[in-house]
Amino acid sequence: MYQKLLALSTFCGTIIGVGLFGLPYVTAKVGFLPMIFYFLVLGAVMTLIHLIYGEIVLRTPGKHRLPGYNRLYLKSPLLEALSYLSTIVGLTGALLAYLVVGGEFLTNLLQPYLGGSPLLYSSVFFSLGFLMIYFGSGPVSKTEFFSLGIFFFVQAVLLAKALPYLEPNHFTTAQLNPSNFFLPYGVILFSLAGTSVIPEMREILKGRERSLKNMIIVGSIIPIISYLIFIVTVYGVTGSATTPEALAGLNAALGNGGLRLGFVFGILTTFTSFLTLGITLKKEFQYDRKLPALLSAVLACLPAYLLYLAGLKDFIGIIGFVGAGALGIDLVVIMAIYLKAKTSRRTPAYSLRLPGYLLALLIILFLAGVGLELTHVFTP
């Protein structure tokens, strides 16, 4: 039972990350009801993707990450290089987003009392994260288990404080602008993605792999519910005035004490996900490239910090690019690996039966998302 809780908390704790704080802002741009539609569709899609990747992991002996599965099944140097690049870019972008927002929350919480610059607090956030990433998954899985309980408690407190200030008309006003129609896609995909940590779940569940399917399903549903509650909490109060990082606009409703609690909530959420994804990226280098643990940790963490120092701090832009672009490529590769892995004679703990047309539709969806995101990035 303890292993299952650790695996579930690691999965949920990774998914419930910095993407949470971009969702109310996106809702303000497209409206509440269209956002619900996006969540129902993309939530179902990402749950299925998690199950597909879980089957790949269970069908394959040894410790691997996505580029390693690519090498084993597709045997294409070009696809392997593309998969490796998209995985590194995606995880580095995610770490950068955690650093941007986590550092901002830490600054807002401590600067009024201790002084110091935003760079100092972001550097503290990064340094503590790097040390824990280097020491590995054991301490982090236990951290996720503990912090997820605190997360849900603080979220309940924030909702209770916000309830008297909710404006019902915020949930019924139609605000969908055609120019913003694609905006939620990448942000929601980013906020719901947990594929990178599924191999980690298998390691935690060693000897109890049959539990992985249920852990994936439950662990995919919990973040969706949590996100919708957070959207109601923030967007219901601030409406069209919702800020990109969500919490700053809640000062009037929550007061200074409530806002500080919100910043603690934000730090907790971003830091635990920073740890889990940092470990995942470290293991990309350690397992698939056979690099030493310290070098792997440096390569996993340092690029995000250097990008931060270079001035890349557009939170919504970062998570939109990672979700629709880098993650979209990864999801197409996962589909291709899955089709090849199904021919394996190894019997996994569970096996999905999916029609070919459904897989084809998913591939088309993700490729279209990649194309639209790249067009957006490279169009002046």
Strands (E), 275-375: none
CB crowding 316-353: b at 16 or more within 10 Å, else e: bebbbbbbbbbbbbbbbbbbbbbbebeeeeeebbeeee
122 confidence band (pLDDT: 50, 70, 90)? very high
- Identity of residue 232: V
Q: What is the pLDDT of residues 303-314, one digit of tens each?
A: 999 999 999 988
What confidence score (pLDDT) does residue 332 get?
Answer: 92
Residue 300 above 80 pLDDT?
yes
Q: Which helix (H) or strand (E) holds 72?
A: helix 66-73
What confidence score (pLDDT) does residue 144 get?
Answer: 65
| Mean pLDDT score, 111-127 | 93
Q: What is the pLDDT of residues 234-276, one digit of tens each?
A: 999 888 888 777 776 676 666 666 778 888 888 888 888 788 7
pTM here is 0.86
What confidence score (pLDDT) does residue 157 get?
Answer: 85
Provide the CATH number for the domain formed by 2-378 in this structure. Answer: 1.20.1740.10
Dihedral, 335, 354, 47, 51 alpha carbons, nearest 10:
-70
Sequence ranges of the domains in the chain: 2-378
What confidence score (pLDDT) does residue 290 get?
Answer: 83
Q: Give yes or no for a contact between 111 and 121, defined as CB atoms under 8 angstroms apart.
A: yes
175 confidence band (pLDDT: 50, 70, 90)? low
| Mean pLDDT score, 312-335 | 90
